[in-house]
A and B are shown apart, each in its own frame.
Chain A
Amino acid sequence: MANCFALMGWSLPVIESMQKSGLPYVVVSFPDFEAYAKQHDIPFVGFNLDEFGSHSNSLQLVELLKPYNADVAVPLYEETVEWAGALNSIYRDDPRVLNRAFLFRNKAMMKRKALLGGLKVGLFEEVYDKQQVHKFLDRLNEAELQLPGEDDAWFHAKPFAAAGTVGHHFIKSREDIDRKMSIKDFPCLVESHLSGKEFSCEAFIHDGKVRFLNITEYVKLGYSNFIPAGPELEGKRQLIHDEVQKMVDIFGIEYGMVHPEWFVSDDGKKINFGEVACRIPGGHILELLGQAYGFDALLAFVVSHDPNMSEEELDKYFPPKGYMPEKRYGNVMVFPKRGQISRLEIPEELLEEPYYLDNNLVEPLGPQKIGDREGFGNHFGTVNFVGEDHERMRELLKHYEDVPFYV
């Protein structure tokens, strides 16, 4: 078992879980948090976790962590994945651990690795300006055997290293390239569109094996999801499990949790790889997961990074093998609609809904103007649901995405 977990990044829910578990930990984050950490007795090392590069001095960080006896680093955010990789390379005396971390942070490299290993991915390229995007579309259209007058093929443009949907553009025509993309988007990855329903899963990996697999059903990406997924996806659990294991093998992942996104092919028989991250997923997914399966998923996330933990020890942190909960937990993230808002108004119909569990919506301090959202950022809280029927759950989550909670 680890001497001390170094949590890379600032996350109060994770700190709370660590405090309750009594496991030794230390938080590594920007020095700005130091005063707060001190006030709340949170073991803390202030460090500028800037973008990782050749100038980054992980040895210095190792030194700073020595007094805490840290021997396992846990990345909490996209931006700290390389830092954790660097530390774990040192702790495990294996330089390839850092290289694997780069895989998660460079989407082009990730795709190449997947391709090499035999996962189905789209046609992709790294591009540095709009000109190259147009050329990419030419080649993509050509490969799709487009005839004059036919619609352009669809593709996606995404930054090499950003969480979730941040900076993501879905391009559906040549005009879209100039309309949606600007200089600040480059360089980036472009990839042909994989059709099919998108879903994500969370696989807790220990010693290169999938220890626990959760399947999350998105009702609307970035707004609402529920756990466990409906029977359509849960019915493919074995297939998904096998594909995840395949991916883990290809990427050489040994410890931690991966959060890949997949597309179910139109015939429902195959799943195609989208991308993968190894930090805490957005959308409060681990919180839902914990509620649904009755364990502390954030704590499980942390301990699965520990190579020294035995299988038996690990079992204490997970639900029993093969356990399937009866009730589904779902949430809707509430984003005020664009425009002026002045107060919170919870609809009466929600309060009469038996599936409604609770909410943590914040009250605005006064009238304010709401702009556009980016990624999972700036939501005003979540509304939580619980119930057995997946269809009812879908219906509710879909419905409450559009209900205005702020007026």
Chain B
Amino acid sequence: MALTTSQLEDRFAQSLAAFKDAPAFSKKDKRTRLVSQLDLLSRSAEGMALIYERMPSLEEAGLFRDTVWEDPKRLVPGLVRGTLLSGSPTSTLEVVNELRLLSVQQNRLDLPGFSAEEAERYLQRLLVATFEMAFEDFEQKGWERYPKGELKKIRLLFKHLKRYIDFDALKPFLLEEIEVIVAHRPIVVTRIKQMLRVVHDRIDLDPRAEVDRKLSYYVNVLYEPSDLAKRHPSVEAYTKVLPQLKPEDLLAECQALGKCMIDTGLVSEYQLALLKYVERKQPDLIPAVLSLDTHGQADFERHGDFVRHLIMEFIVSGNKQAVYGLARVLQRNLLSRKTTWHAFNRFVTIKIHPKIAERLEQGNLSSYELTPKQSLMGGTLCALGQPLGVRQGNNPTCQSARGISMWSRHAPGKLINLLIDAATTNNVVFRFEGETIESAGVIEGLTQKFDFKLDPVSIVLVPHLDKVYNEMMKKASLKHFGKDPHSSVNPAFYGHWIQTGFASVYNPALHAVQDYDRFVRVFYASFHPEYNGGHHLIYPVPTGIFITDASANMLGYHAISLLRVEKDQEGVWRAYFFNPNSQGKQDWGQGIHPTVWGNGERHGESSLPIDQFVSRVYAYHYNDLRLGDKYLQVPAAIVSAITKISKESWGRKYRWV
């Protein structure tokens, strides 16, 4: 027999009193105990209501003092999903913190320097950032690995929050979130699809309001992409009615659905059904469904049989985004490159290693059946079609994601070749300074839990690449002692096009930042067209950056690629780059906000004004043969302005000489 709420309430009151009365040195232990009571309470609706009611006394007792939640201004809605799923005590404190902010929003609690409006805005952003969870019944696949009680706690929290937060006010944020994802075009679209499903299932949209209209456009891409689909909402009925269409109507249907996809990067069940239908009955309409332009059509005409084979064999409901991947592959004319063509032809005949098959099956988070082979082939189409759509998920593997993206853009044959090795032998081989490294022979690497919310190519390759990369780093640190190992590892790992010059802010022998002036100058002289003789980049540049938070505190290191330096429509020189963990909007402090759209970014790119970008770089490769004395012509004012920004952010953690 479980305890009654009033029994729990007594215990909670005692525990709270013990915490409140504890001297500073024993607060921590008493807090842990109090949180274990809150954990129990938060598992029932009455308990949740009780915590909410007692929020003022909890705050007064200092529940959040000396914790990461202490200053509400520094809370980041985007991190809440992770903490909610990390288990108690962290998840419990996170839940209670949300009730705390709700109390502020409801004017039941005063937090100095944090207004009710700020609290409301935070909660709105939170509900958008955790949208799938907020409206989830947790019945979908993928949730079963979390403890039921923890999920119940999350469900109760959102139920409680939704009672107070006006839903209509969320719509603009929701729309913004969706537009950012659409502009950024990740390969994995689980999140946006979940969001649209929830909007479709649970939210009334008013066609007279502009935000609602825009939202319903995105919902319709998946749920009502055409009049025909509207009239025949079940995919079976839709498919049945296709043969009755007049030829011009069928063409119009193909074009309409193709346009939906090209505008959003999203593939609906209807479009898949339509593609399968025309593939059988009228293959000349395939380019229309894929919305190909003349370049794409030319490739289709040349390789029509192979494309039909791909559609027939490998694209199903469980990986229907591969339709978009296929369209992009044809647009990029990849099949007309000899190496890619041969590699792909061999690739489709492979027999997948059982261990890899197992991983691919684990990676299928959809509710549809999907064979490992379908998953991998579809995933490869996506990775090749959207090189900048690769992400690292919750894995600390930015280098590997950067590699996959780089190869997809510049060496698709090499990427497929690697995939064949990995998928058939569960092993890959790399050369490193005269030795070879096989991933199967390396033990250390991705030892922590692997986040499977990744595209199939990453699921297959990343564990191998991560091991190889780590091994190279280890060898390089020993062999080139006292030098930054990246300088020799990057060319060996990514390929010969990585330039031989290497600049780093840090001198390990001195344990200090040295010659930062030159570091900035060489960057400008190598990549900025106004100082490098008017040239664009030939290859992407693997670049190491400091990650900083909204207060410009240094958080760690990260690997990205600099793709191009160009003027945006306002005439500002910007650095456009690929960031494998980009989720859209970010705040790096000091007013530095990388954007993913609206400033000339192509799908998948992030960008910053070049000076802001340079202020976060710690290492890059450049061509030292072509440098000459160009770096001397970079104005001192630019250099000193950047130095100031750097010194006041990550630079605070370093000694400067």
Contact = CB atoms under 8 A, between A and B. Distances in A.
Interface of A: 12-13, 15-16, 19-20, 36, 40, 342-346, 348, 351-352, 354, 356-363, 367, 381
B582 to A, nearest CB: 25
Contact of B23 (A40, A345, A362, A363): A40
Interface in B3-51: 3, 11, 15, 21-26, 29, 32-33, 36-37, 39-40, 43
Given A345-B87, A351-B39, A358 B15 contact: yes
Contacts of B86: 343
Given A345-B87, A351-B43, A367 B447 contact: yes
A358 B11 contact: yes
A345 B147 CA distance: 9
Contacts of A359: 32-33, 36
A360 B147 contact: no
A367 B25 CA distance: 27
Given A358-B36, A367-B448, A40 B25 contact: yes
Nearest to A40: B25
A356 B3 CA distance: 10
25 contacts: A12-B26, A15-B23, A15-B25, A16-B22, A16-B25, A36-B25, A40-B24, A342-B448, A343-B86, A343-B87, A344-B87, A345-B87, A345-B147, A348-B148, A352-B2, A354-B1, A354-B2, A357-B11, A358-B37, A359-B32, A359-B33, A360-B29, A360-B32, A360-B36, A361-B32
- For the side of the interface on B, what is the size category? 20 to 34
Contacts of A16: 22-23, 25-26
Given A363-B89, A367-B447, A354 B3 contact: yes
Contacts of A362: 32
Closest 9 CB pairs of A and B: A360-B32, A358-B36, A358-B33, A359-B36, A348-B149, A16-B26, A354-B3, A40-B25, A360-B33
B90 interface: yes
B106 interface: no
A359 B22 CA distance: 17
B88 interface: yes
A352 B39 CA distance: 11
Given A15-B25, A351-B39, A359-B32, 5 more contacts: A40-B25, A344-B88, A348-B149, A351-B149, A360-B36
Contacts of B89: 344, 363
A360 B89 CA distance: 10
B32 A381 contact: yes
Nearest to B7: A354
A36 B29 CA distance: 17
Most central of B1, B29, B36, B88 by chain A CB within 10 Å? B36
A36 B24 CA distance: 11
Contacts of B3: 354
A183 B500 CA distance: 60
A234 to B, nearest CB: 25
Contact of B26 (A13, A345, A352, A363): A13
Nearest to B148: A348
B266 to A, nearest CB: 35
Contacts of B448: 342, 367
A346 B87 contact: yes
A240 B1 CA distance: 36
Contacts of A13: 26
A288 to B, nearest CB: 14
A219 B631 CA distance: 75
A348 B147 contact: yes
Nearest to B1: A354
B48 to A, nearest CB: 15
B25 A12 contact: yes
B539 to A, nearest CB: 36
Nearest to B31: A360
Contacts of B39: 346, 351
Contacts of A354: 1-3
Contacts of B21: 20
A15 B15 CA distance: 19
A317 B11 CA distance: 24
Contacts of B43: 351
A17 to B, nearest CB: 10
A346 B23 contact: no
A352 B40 CA distance: 8
Nearest to A20: B21
Interface string B488-526: 000000000000000000000000000000000000000
A360 B26 CA distance: 12
Contacts of A36: 25
Contacts of A357: 11
Contacts of A19: 23
A381 B29 CA distance: 9
Nearest to B88: A346
A354 B2 CA distance: 5
Contacts of B1: 354
A85 B15 CA distance: 37
Contacts of B447: 367
A278 to B, nearest CB: 25
Which of B26, B37, B86 has most A Cβ within 10 Å?
Answer: B26
Interface string B576-618: 0000000000000000000000000000000000000000000
A381 B33 CA distance: 10
A40 B33 CA distance: 22
A90 to B, nearest CB: 30
Contacts of A348: 147-149
B141 to A, nearest CB: 21
Nearest to B90: A363
With a 10 A CB-CB cut-off, give which of B1, B25, B147 has the most chain A CB atoms: B25
Interface string B406-440: 00000000000000000000000000000000000
Contacts of A40: 23-25
A51 B149 CA distance: 50
Contacts of B147: 345, 348
A144 B3 CA distance: 54
Contacts of B32: 359-362, 381
A352 to B, nearest CB: 6
A12 B37 CA distance: 23
Nearest to A359: B36
A78 B470 CA distance: 48
Nearest to B24: A40
A348 B26 CA distance: 28
Contacts of A12: 25-26
A363 B91 CA distance: 12
Interface in B345-380: none
Nearest to A356: B40
A346 to B, nearest CB: 6
B183 to A, nearest CB: 35
A351 B40 CA distance: 7
